[in-house]
Structure 1
Amino acid sequence: MTQRLDGGAVLVVAKEMDPAADLVVDELSTLQMPVMRFDMGDFPQGISLTAEHTVGPWSGPLTNDLRTVRLEGVRAVYYRRPRLPLITDAIAEPHYTWAVDQALAGLLGTLYALPVLWVNRPEVDGIASHKPVQLPVAARSGLRTPRSLVTNVPQDARDFAASINGPLICKPLMGGPLNYEDGRRNGVPTHLINPNDLDHSVGLTAHLFQEWIPKAHEVRLTVIGRKMFAAEIHAGSDASRIDWRSDYDSLTYKPCEVPDAVRAGVLRWLDHFGLNFGAFDFAVTPDGEWVFFECNPSGEWSWIQNKTGLPIARALAELLAGG
């Protein structure tokens, strides 16, 4: 028997094994806020949707094996990397792919239309996640950014390296690991580049090159609404000094304050995209200047909360509960 949730429920749309979503659900429960958590991968086989439109927003029940929520009673949506809908194998191609698209449009399209708070709307998240989009917006927002080049032209890469006349790095243009045939998944780290190695392989795909920023340490800045939670990340190995994601075991952390100018720039950046959450990465130079590297609009944050005690999950729950 399913439990009917009344009084303005929060939808948490995430994979079953997601520690960040777990923390948010726990905090919402502490706030005595009705919550329905589900993964879009369970639709349509394990979730039912009946949405009706007359002149206002969609209304009707959304139900899984535990709970039922009325769409017109939803307060907010926390959307965090769910799976795509999973259709029964009884449907063969080409109708299988068509049915997946229908399920996605039916469920996500209906949720899109709800006039509620999102953290974050996935279509905005997708646009804002690309580094070539992020960097000019950051500069216009008053944040310092590294000199950067996106190219697939080897000679242009060599010319850029010569103009830098100093250390050069190459980093992925967007997140996502490599998937190997044996099932391993491994991220592509930022790495230092020897300009003499810029050969024809640059032409095989787009590359992002940047000047190396000397740094005393780095900062992960997690922003929820208008609240900011910043932590210094101090590298303890050569690999982590280039990319701290390369050696988590060597890192130490310390909560820190955000300079007023950086705070204002970050809020302008989020407002530009219409985001309610962002996980920002900054370098802090030996002179104390903050340099914007990137923002992940659906970035991980549970690990930094566990390492520092920063109340990130609580702030997310309070934002969602406010609706």
Structure 2
Amino acid sequence: MYWNRPNGFRFSGLSAADEHYARGAARIGFGGVITSLDAPYLNHPAKASAAEFKPRQLQVARAAGLSVPRTLVTTDAGAVRRFSRMVNGQVVTKALGAPVVTHAGGYEALYTREPDLDALQGVELTAHLFQERVEKDFEVRAVFVGDECFCVRIDAESDQARIDWRLDYDAIKLTPMETPKAVLQSLQRYAAVMDLAYFAADFIVRPSGQWMFLEANPSGQWAWADSVDLPVAKAIATVLEGWCSL
């Protein structure tokens, strides 16, 4: 079973209340059938959902032997300012959920950014994640499939891309690279704990050469990195084909 962030159920011509009921019934009914199959999953919907919690990702990654940046999850503006002082003012904020907010006139992308410590109104409304901004040489997207890992080095060539490379795709350079053995072993332990057959992890590589884990998306996009030198699609197909022959 291949499951990778399908679109939600949609119903036309229903009232908001009826659509809410129909969506819930479809989720429980269809989802109940899908999740009860006696088959291997890439990934099981429940496992993928559980693996989306970023604080747990950091805890599991650290236990698996990976370095992680100092991180704060809070609704307290005062705590944010104290955290900023603790990390010498080097702090960024990231979305805890989907990094997109839909408005009437379009949508807003909530990518990594530097917070304005003098304008933290709204922090008290819901949970926010703040993280130490770590000096980096380059970044890495590591795509884990089955028991393999495919890494692509990301070099940023603009100020925006250095904060979050998704902000300026035209200013990044992608280079396939080998996965260090220690990193691969840690990711294999991470996959075992999270019970995942696939995920896409993001790393910062410091000037010292240290790899620092940022997060791992259990349904992370991979097609943009797929190539002859980084055969992600082939690896996914091979895993699924192998399961079908069991």
**TM-score, shorter chain, exceeding 0.5:** yes
Query: Counterparts of 1:178 and 1:95 in 2: how far apart (Å)?
Result: 24
Equivalent position to 2:223, from 302, 306, 315: 302
Query: Counterparts of 1:96 and 1:242 in 2: how far apart (Å)?
Result: 40
Cα drift, residue 247 of structure 1: 0.2
Structure 2 residue matching 1:245: 3-state secondary structure: helix
Give the length in aligned residue pairs. 243
Cα deviation code 1:112-149 (max 9, x no counterpart): 11111111111211111121121111111110000000
Equivalent residue runs for 1:233-312 within 5 Å = 233-306=154-227, 309-312=229-232
Q: CA RMSD in A?
A: 1.8
Cα drift, residue 315 of structure 1: 0.5
1:188 is the counterpart of 2:110: yes
| Matched-pair contact (CA < 8 Å) for 1:125–1:298 | yes
Q: What amino acid sits opposite 2:78 in the alignment?
A: Q
Q: Which moved more, 1:258-267 or 1:146-155?
A: 258-267
Structure 1 residue matching 2:2: 3-state secondary structure: strand
| Matched-pair contact (CA < 8 Å) for 1:158–1:198 | no
Equivalent residue runs for 1:1-323 within 5 Å = 77-87=1-11, 89=13, 94-182=17-105, 184-195=106-117, 197=118, 199-306=120-227, 309-323=229-243
Cα drift, residue 98 of structure 1: 2.7
Query: Counterparts of 1:298 and 1:148 in 2: how far apart (Å)?
Result: 23
Query: Relative contact order (alpha carbons < 8 A, sep ≥ 6): 1 or 2 greater?
Result: 2
Structure index of larger Rg? 1
Question: What does residue 30 of structure 1 align with?
Answer: none
Cα drift, residue 87 of structure 1: 4.4
Cα deviation code 1:75-119 (max 9, x no counterpart): xx1112222334463x65655433332222222211211111111
Q: What amino acid sits opposite 1:161 in the alignment?
A: S
Q: What amino acid sits opposite 1:99 in the alignment?
A: A
| Unaligned 5+ runs, structure 1 | 1-76
Question: What does residue 25 of structure 1 align with?
Answer: none
Structure 1 residue matching 2:99: 3-state secondary structure: coil
Identity, in percent, stands at 36
Q: What amino acid sits opposite 1:105 in the alignment?
A: I
| Matched-pair contact (CA < 8 Å) for 1:154–1:198 | no
Q: What amino acid sits opposite 2:113 in the alignment?
A: H
Query: Counterparts of 2:224 and 2:55 in 1: how far apart (Å)?
Result: 27
Q: What amino acid sits opposite 1:125 in the alignment?
A: A
Structure 2 residue matching 1:193: 3-state secondary structure: coil
